[in-house]
């Protein structure tokens, strides 16, 4: 009895590391929402902006086939990453890898993780350069479009993109100073909404272009049918 009372007096009422089931379920729900937003942003992404041009270059046969090939590659990489989430066993674990570099270090070793870290950071630098150039080109294209709309298509509308690159780069530097910026909950939601927004805008512009050319296509089709009737007669 004395030992039981002493052990009971030393035992804390609540474990400091204890997490209630309701809080764990809510955190899992938040993680699922954030993960869904990240997936939407990664799958749609800014690549959809150049999708129309790429389809125009490849055509209606090679274009959809290329999209299916890259979709299969993305699906395969997703399955591989899911198998790397737990180690050493992909089903039972027990270790969970919080990021890609952790998985590389536990599975392939520290040396390969070091090389992988260099490759990841080079990829970050490349993405920053590409997004800066693309943003400057987009702003330049908007200004040219407004100039042609106001002054006609024969006007000489020339704009330097260097200034926009500098402005966008300064904005990136300022935003990167926000503490814990990548872990903000609203960031993933905003990114997913933006991806949906310019995807819808691109689809609407493409649909408007098709509808605008529809009378010409119908006229061309009727002329071909009329010529075929004359040939058969």
> What average pLDDT does range 122-134 have in this prediction?
86
Residue 65 has pLDDT above 90, yes or no: yes
Label residue 180 exposed, middle or buried (CB < 10 Å: 0-12, 13-18, 19+).
exposed
Boundaries of every domain in the chain = 109-180
pLDDT of residue 9: 45
Mean pLDDT (whole number) for 121-142:
85
Dihedral, 85, 88, 94, 95 alpha carbons, nearest 10 = -60
pLDDT digits (tens, 9 = 90+) for 145-164: 888 878 777 777 777 778 88
How far is it, in rounded angstroms, from Cα 71 to Cα 65?
10
pTM score of the predicted model:
0.60
Supply 81's token pair.
Answer: 């990453």
Q: Indicate whether 2 pLDDT > 70.
A: no
């Amino acid at each position: 009895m004395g030992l039981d009372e002493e052990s009971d007096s030393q035992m804390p009422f609540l474990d400091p590391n204890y997490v209630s089931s309701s809080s764990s379920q809510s955190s899992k729900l938040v993680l699922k929402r954030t993960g869904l937003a990240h997936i939407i942003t990664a799958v749609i992404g800014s690549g959809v902006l150049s999708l129309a041009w790429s389809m125009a270059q490849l055509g209606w046969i090679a274009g959809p086939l290329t999209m299916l090939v890259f979709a299969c590659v993305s699906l395969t990489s997703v399955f591989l990453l899911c198998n790397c989430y737990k180690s050493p066993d992909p089903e039972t674990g027990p270790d969970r890898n919080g990021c890609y570099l952790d998985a590389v270090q536990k599975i392939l070793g520290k040396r390969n993780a070091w090389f992988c870290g260099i490759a990841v950071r080079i990829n970050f630098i490349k993405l920053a350069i590409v997004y800066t150039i693309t943003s400057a080109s987009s702003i330049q294209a908007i200004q040219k479009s407004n100039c042609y709309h106001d002054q006609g298509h024969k006007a000489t509308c020339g704009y330097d993109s260097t200034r926009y690159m500098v402005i966008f780069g300064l904005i990136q530097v300022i935003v990167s100073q926000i503490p814990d910026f990548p872990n903000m909950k609203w960031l993933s939601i905003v990114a997913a909404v933006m991806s949906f927004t310019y995807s819808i805008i691109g689809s609407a512009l493409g649909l408007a272009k098709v509808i605008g050319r529809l009378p010409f296509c119908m006229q061309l089709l009727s002329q071909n049918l009329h010529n075929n009737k004359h040939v058969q007669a």
